[in-house]
Amino acid sequence: MLSLVVALLAAFASVVFLAPVYISLLTRLGFGKKIRSEGPEGHVRKAGTPTMGGMLLVVVVMFLAMALRIEDRYTLTPMLAMVGVAILGAIDDYVNARSGVGVRGRFKLIWQTVVALLAGFYIQRHFGMDSFNVPFMGEVAVGGLVFVLFVAFVIVGVSNAVNLTDGLDGLAGGVLIFSFVAYLLISLVAVPGGRPAQPNLAIFCALIIGALMGFLWFNVHPAQLFMGDAGSLSMGATLAVVAAITREIPLLAVVGFVFLAVIMSVVLQVGSYKLRGRRIFRMAPLQHHFELLGWAEEKITVRFWIVSALAGLLGFSVYLAGINGL
């Protein structure tokens, strides 16, 4: 338990200490966020805020993970996935800062899919997984190929869901914290006759939680630093990989309920407009719908945090109930 606290505090302190220097560097390099004209009008004032804050999180987490020597078969895949997707996100942030457009969606999807397939293949082969632990149903065998494809689909989906959620100051960072807390607790609980406890994976989650807390110090409204795609895409992919390694991917629908709601709001909005020519929400993703309803940005953020905290608590409770046969 002490190692978890040390990891969390070290990551938090590192980000808080380094962020002012990093923000100053991004400002001098001209890495300011370009705001889309089709977004809410109130976001125009955020133009020029330094972006690519996610790279600071990734560097701090990776450095401390190596310093604490937690690299093992449970942490290697999420670490590599985080770095692989962060590189894509950093490129997108750079292009956005220079042109205001960003990397083409097709290119981003191909890159994410390659990383996700590699991660799914490694997990399946290295851990011999071909089934999912479905709450209250137990292990459901699906076969190796289906396992890999489904894991890859979830990694890409969660990565983009977190990216879509990263639309208000402090929103994605806070929701991610509660999601990683749930999987930190899950990784510490051994399944009788099944998966052992994964203490190094728990420490890795603690590093991410601490880094995200440090990031929120500068990202809460009004934000001094944006996470950018380097952070949102990589953290989403990492969360999905952690869920896969703990054998609790289906539970991610509960733990990451906010992310699910956000991405489904986009899917429903686009589908409804194409099929019926009508919109369901005033604007998608979901948080912008509430903005246009008149909710203050801070109110939306805190309420989404509350829902995420409850979802994480419910997810962990369902996990405990499942392994104890309740």
Q: What is the pLDDT of residues 56-71, one digit of tens each?
A: 999 999 999 999 999 8
On whether residue 262 sits in a domain, the answer given is: no
48 pLDDT exceeds 80? no
The arithmetic mean of pLDDT across residues 87-99, rounded, is 86
CB atoms within 10 A of CB 205: 30
On whether residue 92 sits in a domain, the answer given is: yes
SS3 for 198? Answer: coil
On whether residue 267 sits in a domain, the answer given is: no
Do 199 and 4 meet the contact criterion of CB atoms below 8 Å apart? Answer: no
On whether residue 146 sits in a domain, the answer given is: yes
81 pLDDT exceeds 60? yes
CA 215 – CA 180 distance, rounded (Å): 15
Do 96 and 33 meet the contact criterion of CB atoms below 8 Å apart? Answer: yes
Give Cα 132 distance to the centre of its chain: 21
Do 142 and 130 meet the contact criterion of CB atoms below 8 Å apart? Answer: yes
- Local confidence band at 41 (pLDDT 50, 70, 90 cut-offs): low
On whether residue 65 sits in a domain, the answer given is: yes
> What's residue 95's pLDDT?
86
- Among 23-32, 83-92, 204-213, 303-312, the range scoring the smallest mean pLDDT is 23-32
The whole-model pTM stands at 0.94
37 pLDDT exceeds 60? no
CA 215 – CA 224 distance, rounded (Å): 10
326 pLDDT exceeds 60? no
> What's residue 40's pLDDT?
64
- Name residue 137's amino acid: M
Name 268's Cβ contacts closer than 8 Å, sequence gap at least 6. 280, 281, 284
- Name residue 296's amino acid: A
On whether residue 292 sits in a domain, the answer given is: no
CA 25 – CA 314 distance, rounded (Å): 41
The arithmetic mean of pLDDT across residues 306-325, rounded, is 91
| E strand or H helix at 148 | helix 144-165
Per-residue pLDDT tens digits for 131-187: 888 887 778 888 889 999 999 999 999 999 999 999 899 999 999 999 999 999 999
38 pLDDT exceeds 60? no
CA 237 – CA 155 distance, rounded (Å): 5
274 pLDDT exceeds 70? yes
Q: Does 36 or 56 have the greater pLDDT score?
A: 56
Length of the chain: 326
Six-digit token pair at 307? 């829902």
CA 199 – CA 322 distance, rounded (Å): 21
Long-range pairs of 267-276 with CB within 8 A, sequence gap ≥ 24 = none
The domain in which residue 131 lies consists of 2-249
Helix 228-245 vs helix 171-188: angle between axes, to the nearest 10 degrees? 20
- Local confidence band at 77 (pLDDT 50, 70, 90 cut-offs): very high
On whether residue 99 sits in a domain, the answer given is: yes
CA 290 – CA 296 distance, rounded (Å): 8
What are the beta bridge partners of residue 139? Answer: 133
Per-residue pLDDT tens digits for 225-263: 999 999 999 999 999 999 999 999 999 999 999 999 999
Mark residue 316 as left, alpha or beta (left: phi above 0; alpha: psi -120 to 50; beta: remaining).
Answer: alpha
Domain total in the chain: 1
On whether residue 322 sits in a domain, the answer given is: no
282 pLDDT exceeds 70? yes
